[in-house]
Amino acid sequence: MENNEHAWGKLLKYYRQKKKRKQDDVAFGICTPSYLSRIENGLVIAEHSIYAQLFENLGIDFNQLEQQLKNQTAFLEQLYEKLLLNAELTSDEIKQLTDIQNDEQPFEQQLMAKLVYARFLYSIKEDDDARTILNEVEPLVSWKKDRITQLFVAIRAFGHLSFHEFEQLSLKEAENQFAQYLSNAHPFELANYHYHIAFANHRSYKLHKALEHIELAQQFFIHQYKPLFQLKLYSMKGVIFNDLHRFREAIQEFEAGLELLSNVQSIQTPVQWSSLHNNIAYCFECQENFPEASKHYELANQYDEDVHSAINWMRTCFVQKDFDQLEILFNRYEEIRFTVPHHIYQRRLLQYAVDTAHTIRGLKLLEDEAFTHFDEQQYYSLILFYAPLWGQFYEQLHAYKQASHCYRQALEASEKVRQRMSS
């Protein structure tokens, strides 16, 4: 609910219309019908005693209603905070959340409950149902700094991330500055929103913009103890620094994350350890420190067996000519275990690379499939790794035209990386 008495005017109108009472009847002996109309439409704020009398004329105990709605709003805010912290809701909480959405509740209370429920649906991967709710609510958003607008802006942003609509979210914020609606919200909500915008900008390769938003997230998060979110900030900032080739600063962020993770037992999950070590490994790989990269990819894999870390580990094994370990990984991670296209293509490329029986036709088939996909998805770092390798293989087969084409692809990818880093 809005944190001011404009909400009571809306509630008066809601209950009056629900009880099919005329303004003349409700206002009788208290104020004029025109004054009641102005109260209901939020044009004036009456004294507390006036609200109490008007509600009494509707047969409603104002003090009891006020307390009930405060409790209900506090409950919804509590659930929303749990969702922001990635905590699971209990079955009882979900039932109460569903009940508040019914027609017996004041309209704004229903809207708030619907929005929190949409955020819950996103948390359990019911993305289409969540988006349906947001589409229903959007025409009713006031686009003022009220609670409904704040929740809508934040939850819609999270929804874009769920649908991998990174470019769309990045552009929406750049063009409309939706963060302004959250300026009077809790600092953690504002930090969370900027984190999501940073994530979207990073995934749409606007690295400087991503850094700007992650620093805003850190700024709004100061002096709050939510270690899991703090870990996400360290990791995201480290990843952004790494992609900007600011490796020393990236390692500092990752080391801060390791320090936090080592000392806070509540966030010590295999996934968190694995993700952080994978990020550190990739940072070392980008610096061509392949022994350190392999060490951290192996640690990531030990904490939580993940095909993303596995394919990265395979890549560093190949560079170091550690073909024994690479063969072990090929046997452990057969192609059927991979579902992400760029993982599948990388495994095929690496498997073919260690094959001694290269043919021009075999090289060309993989090049056309894999490199085209890498370029379409803007995985330029993968082109920079595999295209020169394929060029060497072509040269060994005296296919110099094909080799030249691969080197040109690598050169073009290098220029695109340079443009990305300066944008």
Per-residue pLDDT tens over the stretch 12-50: 888 888 888 999 988 888 889 899 899 888 888 888 888
Mean pLDDT within 184-207: 95
pLDDT at 187 over 80: yes
In this prediction, residue 103 carries a pLDDT of 59
- For residue range 218-270, list pLDDT tens digits in order: 999 988 899 999 999 999 999 999 999 999 999 999 999 999 999 999 999 99
Q: Is 398 left (phi over 0), alpha (psi -120 to 50) or beta?
A: left
Q: What is the pLDDT of residue 6?
A: 60
Please state, for a pLDDT cut of 90, what percent of the chain lies above it. Answer: 75
Q: Give whole-number Cα distances, 370 to 173, 316, 317, 383, 404, in Å.
A: 33, 19, 20, 9, 17
Neighbours of 217 (CB within 10 A): 25
What are 98-107's pLDDT values in tens digits?
988 875 667 7
Is the predicted pLDDT of residue 423 greater than 90, yes or no? no
What's the longest Cα–Cα distance across the chain? 100
Q: What is the pLDDT of residue 11?
A: 81
pTM of the full predicted structure?
0.86
- Give the HSE-up count for residue 58: Cα atoms under 13 Å, Cβ half-sphere: 24
3 state DSSP class of 205? coil
Record the tokens describing residue 2, joined without a space.
């809005």
Which pLDDT tens digit goes with each residue over 343-363?
Answer: 999 999 999 999 878 999 999
Contact assessment for residue 317 and residue 323, using Cβ atoms and an 8 Å cutoff = yes
Taking CA atoms, 252 is separated from 216, 244, 267, 421, in Å, by 18, 14, 20, 20
Distance, CA of 248 to CA of 325 (rounded, Å): 29
Band of pLDDT at residue 1, cut at 50, 70 and 90 = very low
**What is the separation, in whole angstroms, between the first and last Cα of the chain?**
41
Look over the chain and give the mean of its residue pLDDT values, rounded to a whole number: 92
Q: State yes or no: pLDDT of 4 exceeds 60.
A: no
Task: Please write the tens of the pLDDT for every residue from 78-122.
Answer: 999 999 999 999 999 999 999 888 756 677 888 999 999 999 999
Give the per-residue pLDDT at 2: 47
